[in-house]
């Protein structure tokens, strides 16, 4: 099946810094990607999505970049806050979600 994976298992940043979480995918036919955030004891929560006709999409404090040439996604979080501490997944939602293993973001006060 599709392989959606993440480069780093844990990312530790200082409060107020920007965070960048990376994700690679292998299926060149993938045309839609979603970033989810999962806090401890909760279900995944939608953050932002991007379709393959775009290479950048911005939300509130978050930006997703898509590089189709190298099959790479990144999630950038500006001015990271303690409430951003969670595990972040990228996912390919075609028919059913394929999750990567996740990157745990730890925000140091």
Partner 1 sequence: EPEVTQTPSHQVTQMGQEVILRCVPISNHLYFYWYRQILGQKVEFLVSFYNNEISEKSEIFDDQFSVERPDGSNFTLKIRSTKLEDSAMYFCASTGQDSNQPQHFGDGTRLSIL
Residues that bind partner 1 (CB under 8 A): 32, 34, 38, 41-46, 49, 89, 93-102
Q: How far is the CB of 59 from partner 1 (least distance, A)?
A: 12
| Closer residue to partner 1 (CB): 8 or 79 | 8
Q: How far is the CB of 74 from partner 1 (least distance, A)?
A: 18
Question: Alpha-carbon distance 25 to 46, whole Å?
Answer: 19
**Any idea what DSSP says for residue 17?**
S
| Closer residue to partner 1 (CB): 70 or 96 | 96
**CB contact set of 58 (below 8 Å; sequence gap of 6+):** none
> How open is the CA angle 68-74-80, to the nearest 5 degrees?
165
């Amino acid at each position: 099946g599709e392989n959606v994976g993440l480069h780093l298992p844990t990312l530790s940043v200082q409060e107020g810094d920007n965070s960048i979480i990376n994700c690679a995918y292998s299926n060149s036919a993938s045309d839609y990607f979603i970033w989810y955030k999962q806090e401890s004891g909760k279900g995944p929560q939608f953050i932002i999505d991007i379709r393959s006709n775009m290479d950048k999409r911005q939300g509130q404090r978050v930006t997703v970049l898509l590089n189709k040439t190298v099959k790479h996604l990144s999630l950038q979080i500006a001015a990271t806050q303690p409430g951003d501490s969670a595990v972040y997944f990228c996912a390919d939602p075609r028919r059913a979600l394929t999750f990567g293993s996740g990157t745990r973001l730890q925000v140091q006060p």
